[in-house]
Amino acid sequence: DVKVTQSSRYLVKRTGEKVFLECVQDMDHENMFWYRQDPGLGLRLIYFSYDVKMKEKGDIPEGYSVSREKKERFSLILESASTNQTSMYLCASSLASRPQHFGDGTRLSIL
């Protein structure tokens, strides 16, 4: 079974802090994704990566950056956290055009 692990289930940070969310997958998938999910807005793609050091903007990249130095790890960075970034963050991975598999999610609160 595919295992996608997100480093934290719950995280509380302060406005202006630099926040790192980590995601690790154990199935050698080349694709990794970061989404945020808000009530009524569904899943929105922030960034994704299709190979080490390769990234592509999703639909809502503003205020975020990503890093993929190793194939199994994909990090989402909030450069200067703001309250409107309070959300559920979901990481996913996939092989080519196969289904995406999700981690358990990180519920991030920015105070």
Applying CB under 8 A, the residues found at the interface with another protein are: 30-31, 33, 40-43, 45, 48, 50, 56, 90, 94-105
Query: How large is the C-alpha radius of gyration of the chain?
Result: 13
Query: Closest distance between another protein and the C-beta of residue 6, in Å?
Result: 9
When the beta carbons of 20 and 50 are compared against another protein, the nearer one is 50
When the beta carbons of 85 and 103 are compared against another protein, the nearer one is 103
Query: Closest distance between another protein and the C-beta of residue 90, in Å?
Result: 6
> How many Å apart are CA 82 and CA 87, to the nearest integer?
11
Classify burial at 67, counting beta carbons within 10 Å of its beta carbon; exposed 0-12, middle 13-18, buried 19 or more. middle
State whether residue 99 is helix, strand or coil: coil
Query: Closest distance between another protein and the C-beta of residue 13, in Å?
Result: 20
Query: Closest distance between another protein and the C-beta of residue 71, in Å?
Result: 14
When the beta carbons of 49 and 75 are compared against another protein, the nearer one is 49
- Of the candidates 68, 89, 79, 78, the one whose C-alpha atom is nearest the C-alpha of residue 25 is 68
